[in-house]
């Protein structure tokens, strides 16, 4: 008795992955992927670029979220057909970056540079994450 093929070989799943891979192969998506990786790297190093003096908890948060954001972006760039399902996490990480100065203790109004940095970088991360989510949602022209 022959065994049934695994779910990985299901025609609908294969077609869906191909759709996302074709969408991710467009030049504009390559630029999006590059900007997303750079945003994550900047977020990770921003505490040392701007000098988050005395804000160790926020610096660690930015480092961890920046590296996670960068890793997510590299996953999108390498295999969007397999990673599109976690694209929703990128905007959430951006929202965390925006609110983290107020959530993490030790940040007050005297740390304006820190707050502005996190708001701007977080907003960029949210926008790039929303763009990554929309990559597979656009209709593709019928060129096969």
| Residue range 14-68, pLDDT digits in tens | 665 666 666 656 666 778 888 999 999 999 999 999 888 778 889 999 999 999 9
Instruction: Report the sign of the C-alpha dihedral through residues 33, 36, 42, 45, in that order.
Output: negative
Q: Which residues, other chains included, contact 2 with Cβ-Cβ below 8 Å and sequence gap of 6+?
A: none
pLDDT surpassing 60 at residue 1: no
Give residue 69's pLDDT: 96
- Crossing angle of helices 89-103 and 112-134, rounded to 10°: 170
Give residue 75's pLDDT: 86
The lowest-confidence range among 73-77, 105-109, 125-129 is: 105-109
Q: What 8-state DSSP symbol labels residue 144? A: -
pTM of the model: 0.76
Give residue 43's pLDDT: 96
Closest by CA to 114, choosing from 97, 96, 93, is 97
SS3 category, 108: coil
Closest by CA to 34, choosing from 121, 128, 133, is 128
Q: How far is CA 51 from CA 27, 65, 97, 114, 120, in A?
A: 36, 17, 17, 9, 16
Tokens of 80: 């969007």
pLDDT-based confidence at 140, cuts 50/70/90? very low
Give residue 141's pLDDT: 46
Closest by CA to 42, choosing from 34, 106, 24, 83, is 34
Give residue 17's pLDDT: 63
Closest by CA to 55, choosing from 115, 127, 11, 99, is 115
> Which is higher by pLDDT, 57 or 111?
57
């Amino acid at each position: 008795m022959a065994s049934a093929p695994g779910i990985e070989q299901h025609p609908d799943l294969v077609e869906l992955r191909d759709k996302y891979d074709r969408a991710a192969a467009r030049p504009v998506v390559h630029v999006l992927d590059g900007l997303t990786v750079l945003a994550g790297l900047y977020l990770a190093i921003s505490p040392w670029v701007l000098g988050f003096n005395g804000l160790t908890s926020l610096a660690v948060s930015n480092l961890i979220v920046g590296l996670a954001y960068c890793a997510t972006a590299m996953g999108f760039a390498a295999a969007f057909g397999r990673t599109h399902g976690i694209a929703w996490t990128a905007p959430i990480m951006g929202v965390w970056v925006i609110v983290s100065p107020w959530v993490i203790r030790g940040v007050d109004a005297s740390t304006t540079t820190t707050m502005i940095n996190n708001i701007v970088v977080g907003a960029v991360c949210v926008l790039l994450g929303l763009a990554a989510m929309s990559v597979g949602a656009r209709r593709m022209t019928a060129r096969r």
